[in-house]
Structure 1
Amino acid sequence: MPDMVSTAVRSVVAIKTPAGTGSGFFVDQGLILTNAHVVGKFHKATIAVDRGEIKISVTGDVIGIDEKADLALVSVGPDFDRPALAFGDYDSTNLADEVIVIGFPLSDVLGDAVNVTKGIASSKRTYNGLEYLQTDAAANPGNSGGPLLNTKGDVVGIMTLRVTFNETGVLTEGTALALSVDGIKSRLPALRGE
Structure 2
Amino acid sequence: ATPTPRLIVAPTEIPLPTPTTVPTGLTQTVSHVVGAVVAINTPAGTGSGFFFEDGLVMTNAHVVKGFLRATVVSKFNGINLGITGTVIGVDEELDIAVIEVSKNPERPTLKFGDSRTAQLAEDVLVIGFPLSNILGEAISVSKGIISSKRNIDGVEMIQVDAATNPGNSGGPLLNSQGEVIGMVTLKIVNEVTNRFFEGTGIAIASNAIQDRLPSLLEE
Question: Scaled by the length of structure 2, what TM-score is found?
Answer: 0.84
Contact 2:130 2:166 in 1 (8 A): yes
Gaps (5+ residues) in structure 2? 1-25
1:80-127 CA distance string (max 9 Å, x none): 862221111112100000000000000011111100000000000101
Structure whose alpha-carbon radius of gyration is higher: 2
State whether structure 2 residue 143 is matched by structure 1 residue 118.
yes
Tell me which residue corresponds to 1:61: 86
Contact 1:164 1:173 in 2 (8 A): no
Contact 1:131 1:183 in 2 (8 A): yes
For 1:154 and 1:140, locate their aligned partners in 2 and report how far apart those are by CA, in whole Å.
Answer: 21
1:138 to 163, 168, 179: 163
Tell me which residue corresponds to 2:126: 101
Tell me which residue corresponds to 2:21: none
1:56, distance to aligned residue in structure 2 (A): 0.6
Letter in 2 for 1:96: A
For 2:198 and 2:76, locate their aligned partners in 1 and report how far apart those are by CA, in whole Å.
Answer: 30
Letter in 2 for 1:54: I
State whether structure 2 residue 177 is matched by structure 1 residue 152.
yes
Contact 1:50 1:112 in 2 (8 A): no
User: How many residues get paired?
Assistant: 193
Please show how residues 1-194 of structure 1 align to structure 2 within 5 Å. 1-50=26-75, 53-79=78-104, 82-165=107-190, 167=191, 169=193, 171=195, 172-193=197-218
Question: Scaled by the length of structure 1, what TM-score is found?
Answer: 0.94
For 2:107 and 2:166, locate their aligned partners in 1 and report how far apart those are by CA, in whole Å.
Answer: 24
For 2:173 and 2:95, locate their aligned partners in 1 and report how far apart those are by CA, in whole Å.
Answer: 15
Contact 2:85 2:101 in 1 (8 A): yes
Tell me which residue corresponds to 2:16: none
Letter in 2 for 1:44: R
1:41-77 CA distance string (max 9 Å, x none): 1000001124684121110000000000000000002
Letter in 1 for 2:65: G
Change (3 A) 1:170 1:21: closer
Change (3 A) 1:51 1:119: farther
For 1:140 and 1:80, locate their aligned partners in 2 and report how far apart those are by CA, in whole Å.
Answer: 31
For 1:101 and 1:42, locate their aligned partners in 2 and report how far apart those are by CA, in whole Å.
Answer: 25
Gaps (5+ residues) in structure 1? none
Contact 1:164 1:175 in 2 (8 A): no
1:169, distance to aligned residue in structure 2 (A): 4.5
- Secondary structure of 1:88 counterpart: coil
C-alpha RMSD of matched pairs (Å): 1.7
